[in-house]
Chains A and B, each alone.
Chain A
């Protein structure tokens, strides 16, 4: 078993692993584990279990939990194991504890003492083990117990300890920022550590700190740039290289930090331009890691203060991503494009067809990323196409998490950019129909408000047109089965308010429809409440204009049913409707004024109209009012209970105070704070019927004349209009899209002359475009086409046209331009000598001190492992290229190329052409093959044989 010196485990353990490996179903695996739990429970409780044996039991417990079963009976043994003197056993104990317990578990307190002791150990590996445990187990309360020791260890002579101490401090910062706020300066110090590992690890806490407070770290920009420069110039030890890239993961972290620091800061960004240009130039587009660094560079460039040269390089890299065959790169390209268009929206046009390909790709991940991009580039000219696409996609998926997200995005875009009322209503209908139960209730309230208010201002005709079109469409939709509750509420409300307004539909027709709704949704009290209120409104409007209302039989039975309802709210509404039917037209009109939903209700918060009543009562000896916060809970309850006792029989009451009206959600609808003790209205919990509540004050006047005093007045201030202005008329949108049909990429090339001839010329010259189907082009045109409003912006690319046209042909020229302009750049940037501490030194001196300790270690390791440690630096030949060769962008090669058992691999190959790879791999790794055979032999000895059930067990991961 390689460097592990054979199978040091017991037969029992090997059998367990073997049987788990061979389990063919989850059920079988569960049976094995349940049996194992029984065994372990017996064994672990035996007296005097040898320590080695106990370690194995712990690993078996880890298996039990990993496979989804409870192993809490053994937790205490893991805790005990952390006391052990042996490093391996101690670390295994810590590992088991971190895997089993979360930091708030009761047993943690037993470990704190051990950790404290281990932090003081002379063996730095024990200190490291303890620090690793600190990161996972110490919670806010126990931080003070270890904090002084951790701070002390920041200055430890071993770099591994310093690194872990930095991370422990980082963990404390994550858990409780205040506990270490006075120690933040330590992170700055450690950034200058001689050891690159410590420096690299320190970037993690610094990144978090900078994210929170960018301005306090502006002084570090020069340091970060200088570190990045040294990393890019390969001054770090070779062990950090990955696929020939110098410390790419550190580069990426640094680029992320620079992106933060340079955001919107011209001066800070100025320091970064040179090094970013260097990284672009040195980039390695053939490897994944090279592209990862490149992508991070693009992100950085798009975040910092724009620099034209760098942007050009970023655009070029992005377009290479988008043109790639790899889906991963396309994905990164779409993301990068989304960042770049924030700086210059015209960049997208060149890639429109690539974007549409991604949009139509069957790969869901790519599709969603593309929707994200479209969301970012939505404007009034393309909103219709984009939202339509989004809704289509929303319809096709089942994932509620994402459905909710895309639905809210649709609503947001529709609210912002809607070209017309009709379109908005239609769109909202679709969103509600397909994701109704997932959208926020607020969206429904917004929609009702919009229909009620229309576009306000002068155009009353358009408003009423909007309402009748809403009524028309809702009457249509009502025929469909299974509408979401929220949507039905909107429909009922609109039908109640405006169903009969334009005279197109008779009152009895609408009432009939509403009764159908109530009948079809007999379990949904909210919907029923909305229907009965809507019916009441329609009846009221009829009576007010002097028509006689004759209730349909189904309506009468609905009222009867609701009057006997268990819901007091429904009962109330039903009784009110009945009472209203008995009133004369004048009374009805004042109770239920037509189209009064927009009118605001003035709230007399002091309830001054009650003053005389209060005084009267006081004179009669009533106790004065005690503010809520001054009375005890019992008194409070008693007070309410006497009021509502008769209703409380079947329902429990909310005894806590009702929430105050929230000011933000529907700003136009001030909630009526009902003076509870004085009206006999049942207060409606706010979140259930927020829209309806403001009708409530009108109702009681039927029974309680005093409530007219509430006063109904208009109040329009503070009414926020989220809505796009009606200026975007649909004709302009359609005309622009028709011109863009042919324009396509050509508009990008020359925005000023959009005459049809030049367009055609360009069109012909671009063969690539000609091959694309007309349908896609149409889509592209409608998505990317420029609206007339954007013509000024268009000026930008026209300046660039000379460079922009030959994007592919003249790449070298562009590159040349960058490099030729670079030297003067360097002169201008004040290249202040990097601080001594930060300078990781010349390549040779830097590597010797950092390698020195390892040399010692290698001495410890003995001759066998020494070569492998040197491998990467001197003899990088055999191993690294081998990995590189196998590790290509096409995973299939790696998938099934098992060098271990060629025949087996052959039988179970997933990929046909893998056989060739297999042989190549086997030949390349002559030595490894021998290893594998040995491994195989040992495996057979132990009794684990590759069978049809577990062929994969023996397939090498790397092939």
Chain B
């Protein structure tokens, strides 16, 4: 059930944000991102928003030109507590809604120009591979305070 990575990739396959919750080398990341994007781009809108890749299950969602991908553990060590893909899918939307509230109508450029802010949001929402905060107010308050202070 642990989240292994969160990726934002545009439809040209360019990474726009990458947060890993386990250590992968630069080469491994590069390869993984390439493979996943290729896989997800090949899928149609009607198909499931879930893809298996190696030992990951990838839940993805497309917003305009940007893909939000979340990689989750796919090992069946404990079959009674498998992941809830639909919940992850909604979590992605929560991330986007949170970004939208902060950036007001978020777009790809907002994330590119404020990469650190986007990362800070994710830091509030996901820790140790778990979803730990889902209240937009709680997520954004520290970030807004920080902006204010600086």
- Across the interface, B132 reaches (CB within 8 A) one of A24, A167, A240, A857, namely A167
Assuming the contacts A95-B119, A160-B138, A928-B104, asked whether A29 and B66 have C-beta atoms less than 8 A apart, the reply is no
Assuming the contacts A86-B150, A88-B150, A95-B123, asked whether A331 and B102 have C-beta atoms less than 8 A apart, the reply is no
In the complex, the answer to whether A128 meets B64 with C-beta atoms within 8 Å is no
In the complex, the answer to whether A67 meets B52 with C-beta atoms within 8 Å is no
- Across the interface, A296 reaches (CB within 8 A) one of B84, B99, B123, B148, namely B84
Q: Name the residue of chain B whose CB is nearest to the CB of A321.
A: B86
With A and B bound together, what is the CA distance between A299 and B82 in angstroms? 9
- Across the interface, B113 reaches (CB within 8 A) one of A9, A89, A103, A160, namely A9
- Across the interface, A366 reaches (CB within 8 A) one of B48, B89, B101, namely B48
In the complex, the answer to whether B134 meets A249 with C-beta atoms within 8 Å is yes
Assuming the contacts A160-B142, A865-B144, asked whether A200 and B80 have C-beta atoms less than 8 A apart, the reply is no
Q: List CB contacts (< 8 Å) of B114-128 with chain A.
A: 114-117, 119-120, 123, 127-128
Q: Which residues from B are CB-within-8-Å of A935? A: 105, 107
Q: Is A860 an interface residue (CB 8 A)?
A: yes
Query: How far does the Cβ of A297 sit from chain B's closest Cβ, in whole Å?
Result: 11
Q: Which residues from B are CB-within-8-Å of A24? A: 12
Size of chain B's interface in residues, with CB distance under 8 A? 88
Q: Which residues from A are CB-within-8-Å of B38? A: none
- Across the interface, B137 reaches (CB within 8 A) one of A242, A335, A368, A854, namely A854
In the complex, the answer to whether B109 meets A295 with C-beta atoms within 8 Å is no
- Across the interface, B144 reaches (CB within 8 A) one of A3, A240, A883, A951, namely A3
Assuming the contacts A259-B81, A957-B96, asked whether A17 and B127 have C-beta atoms less than 8 A apart, the reply is no
- Across the interface, B81 reaches (CB within 8 A) one of A164, A167, A256, A890, namely A256
Q: List CB contacts (< 8 Å) of A425-464 with chain B.
A: none
Q: Name the residue of chain B whose CB is nearest to the CB of A24.
A: B12
Assuming the contacts A132-B127, A296-B84, asked whether A70 and B96 have C-beta atoms less than 8 A apart, the reply is no
- Which of A718-726, A837-845, A893-901 forms part of the interface with chain B? A893-901
- Across the interface, B136 reaches (CB within 8 A) one of A239, A865, A899, namely A239
Assuming the contacts A401-B54, A872-B136, asked whether A957 and B145 have C-beta atoms less than 8 A apart, the reply is no
Q: List CB contacts (< 8 Å) of B74-105 with chain A.
A: 78, 80-82, 84-87, 89-91, 93-94, 96-97, 99-105
Query: How far does the Cβ of A115 sit from chain B's closest Cβ, in whole Å?
Result: 15
In the complex, the answer to whether A1 meets B47 with C-beta atoms within 8 Å is no
Q: Which residues from A are CB-within-8-Å of B47? A: 327, 362-363, 365-366
Q: Which residues from B are CB-within-8-Å of A70? A: 26
Q: Is B4 an interface residue (CB 8 A)?
A: no
Q: Which residues from A are CB-within-8-Å of B62? A: 891, 894-895
In the complex, the answer to whether B13 meets A26 with C-beta atoms within 8 Å is yes
With A and B bound together, what is the CA distance between A511 and B12 in angstroms? 58
Q: Which residues from A are CB-within-8-Å of B1? A: 207, 256
Q: Which residues from B are CB-within-8-Å of A200? A: 132-134
In the complex, the answer to whether B93 meets A66 with C-beta atoms within 8 Å is no
- Across the interface, A125 reaches (CB within 8 A) one of B55, B103, B145, namely B145
Q: Which residues from B are CB-within-8-Å of A958? A: 63, 96-97, 100, 105-106
Q: Is A62 an interface residue (CB 8 A)?
A: yes
Q: Which residues from A are CB-within-8-Å of B109? A: 17, 21, 939, 944, 953-954
In the complex, the answer to whether A860 meets B86 with C-beta atoms within 8 Å is no
Identify which of B86, B101, B131, B149 gathers the most chain A CB atoms within 10 Å of its CB: B86
In the complex, the answer to whether A292 meets B87 with C-beta atoms within 8 Å is yes
In the complex, the answer to whether B17 meets A66 with C-beta atoms within 8 Å is yes
Q: Is A412 an interface residue (CB 8 A)?
A: no
In the complex, the answer to whether A88 meets B134 with C-beta atoms within 8 Å is no
Q: Is A508 an interface residue (CB 8 A)?
A: no
In the complex, the answer to whether A66 meets B18 with C-beta atoms within 8 Å is yes
Q: Is A804 an interface residue (CB 8 A)?
A: no
In the complex, the answer to whether B86 meets A328 with C-beta atoms within 8 Å is yes
Q: Is B130 an interface residue (CB 8 A)?
A: yes
Q: Is A887 an interface residue (CB 8 A)?
A: yes
Q: Which residues from B are CB-within-8-Å of A854? A: 137, 141
In the complex, the answer to whether A899 meets B105 with C-beta atoms within 8 Å is yes
Q: Which residues from A are CB-within-8-Å of B136? A: 239, 872
Size of chain A's interface in residues, with CB distance under 8 A? 126
Q: List CB contacts (< 8 Å) of B28-45 with chain A.
A: 29-30, 33, 43, 45
Query: How far does the Cβ of B139 sit from chain A's closest Cβ, in whole Å?
Result: 9
With A and B bound together, what is the CA distance between A69 and B87 in angstroms? 33
Q: Is A710 an interface residue (CB 8 A)?
A: no
In the complex, the answer to whether A860 meets B145 with C-beta atoms within 8 Å is yes
In the complex, the answer to whether B113 meets A900 with C-beta atoms within 8 Å is no
Q: Is A598 an interface residue (CB 8 A)?
A: no
In the complex, the answer to whether A327 meets B48 with C-beta atoms within 8 Å is yes
With A and B bound together, what is the CA distance between A899 and B99 in angstroms? 17
Q: Which residues from A are CB-within-8-Å of B33? A: 68
Assuming the contacts A95-B116, A95-B120, A303-B80, asked whether A894 and B63 have C-beta atoms less than 8 A apart, the reply is yes
- Across the interface, B90 reaches (CB within 8 A) one of A5, A242, A931, namely A242
Q: Is A4 an interface residue (CB 8 A)?
A: yes
Q: Which residues from A are CB-within-8-Å of B30? A: 68
With A and B bound together, what is the CA distance between A87 and B142 in angstroms? 11
Q: Name the residue of chain A whose CB is nearest to the CB of B97.
A: A883
Q: Is A959 an interface residue (CB 8 A)?
A: yes
With A and B bound together, what is the CA distance between A69 and B15 in angstroms? 12
- Across the interface, A174 reaches (CB within 8 A) one of B12, B65, B87, B128, namely B128
Q: Which residues from B are CB-within-8-Å of A365? A: 47-48, 50-52
Q: Which residues from B are CB-within-8-Å of A296? A: 84, 87
With A and B bound together, what is the CA distance between A887 and B97 in angstroms? 10
- Across the interface, B128 reaches (CB within 8 A) one of A20, A204, A260, namely A204
With A and B bound together, what is the CA distance between A496 and B143 in angstroms? 74
Q: Name the residue of chain A whose CB is nearest to the CB of B78.
A: A211
Q: Name the residue of chain B whose CB is nearest to the CB of A366.
A: B48
Q: Which residues from B are CB-within-8-Å of A240? A: 134-135
Q: Which residues from A are CB-within-8-Å of B93? A: 288, 887
Question: What per-residue 1/0 map shows which CB atoms of A857-900 lie under 8 Å from chain B?
Answer: 10011100100110010000000000100010011101110111
Assuming the contacts A23-B14, A402-B52, A891-B62, asked whether A955 and B107 have C-beta atoms less than 8 A apart, the reply is yes
Q: Which residues from A are CB-within-8-Å of B127? A: 132, 135, 164, 167, 170-171, 201
Query: How far does the Cβ of A849 sit from chain B's closest Cβ, in whole Å?
Result: 14
Q: Is A318 an interface residue (CB 8 A)?
A: no
With A and B bound together, what is the CA distance between A70 and B96 in angstroms? 29
In the complex, the answer to whether B100 meets A957 with C-beta atoms within 8 Å is yes
With A and B bound together, what is the CA distance between A148 and B131 in angstroms? 25
Question: What per-residue 1/0 map shows which CB atoms of A323-336 lie under 8 Å from chain B?
Answer: 00001111110010
With A and B bound together, what is the CA distance between A260 and B104 in angstroms? 41
Q: Is A956 an interface residue (CB 8 A)?
A: yes
Q: Which residues from B are CB-within-8-Å of A86? A: 149-150
With A and B bound together, what is the CA distance between A203 and B59 in angstroms? 23
Q: Which residues from B are CB-within-8-Å of A125? A: 142, 145-146, 149
Q: Is A163 an interface residue (CB 8 A)?
A: yes
Q: Is A269 an interface residue (CB 8 A)?
A: no
- Across the interface, B48 reaches (CB within 8 A) one of A299, A363, A900, A944, namely A363
Identify which of B62, B99, B109, B150 gathers the most chain A CB atoms within 10 Å of its CB: B109
With A and B bound together, what is the CA distance between A954 and B113 in angstroms? 13
Query: How far does the Cβ of A708 sit from chain B's closest Cβ, in whole Å?
Result: 50
In the complex, the answer to whether B135 meets A239 with C-beta atoms within 8 Å is yes
A-B CB proximity, top 9 nearest: A952-B65, A292-B86, A102-B23, A88-B150, A204-B130, A957-B63, A239-B135, A2-B104, A955-B64
Known: A332-B85, A401-B55, A862-B148. 11 other contacts (CB 8 A): A5-B147, A7-B113, A68-B26, A95-B123, A167-B130, A201-B127, A211-B78, A237-B135, A288-B90, A335-B82, A956-B64
| B→A interface (CB under 8 Å) | 1, 10-15, 17-19, 23, 26, 29-30, 33, 43, 45-52, 54-55, 61-66, 78, 80-82, 84-87, 89-91, 93-94, 96-97, 99-110, 112-117, 119-120, 123, 127-128, 130-138, 141-142, 144-150
Can you name 20 A-B residue pairings with CB atoms under 8 Å? A3-B144, A9-B113, A66-B17, A87-B149, A88-B147, A102-B23, A128-B142, A204-B128, A252-B87, A292-B90, A365-B51, A366-B47, A854-B141, A857-B145, A865-B144, A894-B62, A928-B105, A952-B64, A955-B108, A957-B107
